[in-house]
Amino acid sequence: MTAPASPDSTRPVHESLAREVSRRRTFAIISHPDAGKTTLTEKTLLYAGAIELAGAVRGRKNQRAAVSDWMDVERERGISITSAALEFEIDGRRLTLLDTPGHKDFSEDTYRTLFAVDSVVMVIDAAKGIEPQTRKLFEVCRSRDLPILTFVNKLDHPARDPLELLDEIERVLGIHAVPMNWPVGTGDRFKGVYDLQQHALLLYDRVQGGQRRAPVHVAGLDDPTLADELGVDAHLELQEVADMLAGAGAPFDLEAYRAARQTPTFFGSALMNFGLEPFLRALVELAPSPAPRPTTTGALVDPASPGFSGFVFKIQANMNPRHRDRIAFLRVCSGELTKDMVATNARLGGTVRLSRPHRFFGRERETVDVAYAGDVVGLVNPGKFTIGDTLYAGTPVEFPPVPRFAAEHFGALRLEGTRHKQFDEGVRQLEEEGLMQVVFPLAGRREPIVGVVGALQFDVIEARMRAEYNVPCRVDRLPYAHARWVDAGADGHDLKLPMTGVFRAVDRQETPVLLFESDWELQYTERQNPGISFLALH
């Protein structure tokens, strides 16, 4: 007979799990549009060896499109409109990079993604400094206490004074910026960066196109040849700045960074491949591994605990055009997710078999046998997953809901043709993704009215319906600014409403919804109907 297992028999398994979790780094890149986020993503993959040639993000016909921008409409417009998962290895660490849209009209997708990461890289244009979308996304990171590494980009172009940029980061964002290197000149006079931690100078050599790794020469600050390399004035200025920072600047503090009180700041040029190696080394060495995650009860789930748990933060249709499948992106929060395991959906209370979990690299995918806390996997969605769902095996657990935004722009989505079945399927699947809210007129033709956070999403809806469902349609803008769901205590028919400026509708569950043209109609309705709740989200 086999002897019963000793209490310590699971220790090797738990130690192996803890090792795998400790080497995970799951992060997102945020920025204002055109700060260089997608370029930095591409060059990160280039340096990691995940791709051989960085793609063009500006749509040149003779170059590849960005790996992370895999949708046709992204490639056509040269912008990121949906988050992409990219996994790769650097120095024994398993990195999961979630590339996010920079355009404000797609910020809801970015917000959801920020709930699935453990740290963030913030990209700032060296000429423009802190821009509105950067500030908005930073506040989301602050609310989650996410550690932030900052990369000040485009030093190969004319830029603002580095001290002025550091001051702006501290003044506008309220976080202490600690320079990890220092630029020598900008624009045509950009000659490299001085590593304040290693006391070494990385000299910049310009290469045509910036597609491959630029040669880097290293020398100490006291190297007598530096005056010849930099020029006497630039050499003296660099020595003065280094002395000033050594005497007056606050030293880098790992605990302060991980507590989101301090942001290590790097200067460089992603397009020209310069300053990336020190930045990536810091990302690998400093960025935290998965941390305990709070549940709806306030309890913390240890990522190295054996029980599997995770939550769905994104759903994407038609990543594989041949199969027209729907993928639920799940962040693993604890334990191991194994192929063919059975998990419980906390929202539905029922079980689901996770038969073919996928690992992603943009649109490309491969089936994985096991995933650990910190990993992001894709699950084929049989219609049982929605954004925010918690999955677990073993001890029941539920994570807080993923936040949603109220729509601010509305339009009637009108089919051009007779493909009604395909039209209905496309509308339902794009709604499931969270790309839009959908309601239907209470009276008359049951034509979908779509609500979105940003107006550019209307163009994306039209483009994706045409490209992915072969359904030509158009969005006719409507003059409404707010949607409110009427709570279960009222049927929506006996409400006191203004004479104009309000449109009655219902959602798919036949819950009454009101669309308001302005704040005045909304506030009037709330005053005239005390005791009834009007909900911005449902």
Closest CA to 288 of 329, 259, 330, 266: 259
Question: Is residue 456 within 8 Å of residue 103, measured between CB atoms?
Answer: yes
Pick the more confident residue, 328 or 361: 328
Residues 168-189: what's their mean pLDDT?
91
- Render pLDDT for 251-309 as a digit per residue (tens, 0 to 9): 899 999 999 999 999 999 998 888 888 899 999 999 999 999 999 999 999 999 999 99
- Confidence (pLDDT) at 164: 95
Question: Is residue 66 within 8 Å of residue 41, measured between CB atoms?
Answer: yes
**Domain 409-535 fold:** Alpha-Beta Plaits (3.30.70)
Q: Which of 73-82, 160-169, 337-346, 427-436 has the lowest mean pLDDT?
A: 73-82
Which residue ranges does the chain devote to CATH 3.30.70.3280? 409-535
Question: Is residue 65 within 8 Å of residue 56, measured between CB atoms?
Answer: yes
- Confidence (pLDDT) at 413: 95
User: CA 290 to CA 374: how far, in whole Å?
Assistant: 6
Residues 509-517: what's their mean pLDDT?
92
Cα distance from N-terminal residue to C-terminal residue, the chain: 58
Compute φ and ψ for 476, nearest 5 degrees: -95, 115
Task: Answer yes or no: pTM beyond 0.85.
Answer: no
CATH of 293-392, one of 3.30.360.10, 3.40.50.300, 2.40.30.10, 3.40.50.970: 2.40.30.10
What is the β-pairing status of strands 358-361 and 409-415?
unpaired
- Type of residue found at 96: T
Residue 37 has pLDDT above 60, yes or no: yes
User: CA 129 to CA 521: how far, in whole Å?
Assistant: 39
pLDDT band for position 341 (cuts 50, 70, 90): very high
Strand partners, 316: 327
What is the β-pairing status of strands 24-31 and 93-99?
parallel
Closest CA to 116 of 373, 436, 380: 373
- Render pLDDT for 223-261 as a digit per residue (tens, 0 to 9): 777 777 777 888 888 888 888 887 776 789 999 999 999
- Confidence (pLDDT) at 457: 85
- Confidence (pLDDT) at 199: 77
Which residue ranges does the chain devote to CATH 3.40.50.300? 24-286
Mean pLDDT of the chain: 83
- Render pLDDT for 125-154 as a digit per residue (tens, 0 to 9): 999 999 988 888 898 899 889 999 999 999
User: CA 414 to CA 473: how far, in whole Å?
Assistant: 5
Which residue ranges does the chain devote to CATH 2.40.30.10? 293-392
CATH of domain 24-286: 3.40.50.300
Evaluate the CA torsion angle 413, 416, 422, 424 in order and state its sign: positive
Question: Is residue 96 within 8 Å of residue 388, measured between CB atoms?
Answer: no
Q: List the structure tokens of 207.
A: 């290469």
User: CA 495 to CA 168: how far, in whole Å?
Assistant: 50
Residue 431 has pLDDT above 60, yes or no: yes
Location of structure tokens 């060296």: 126
User: CA 32 to CA 36: how far, in whole Å?
Assistant: 9
* 392: Cβ contacts below 8 Å, ≥ 6 apart: 307, 308, 309, 310, 343, 344, 346, 398
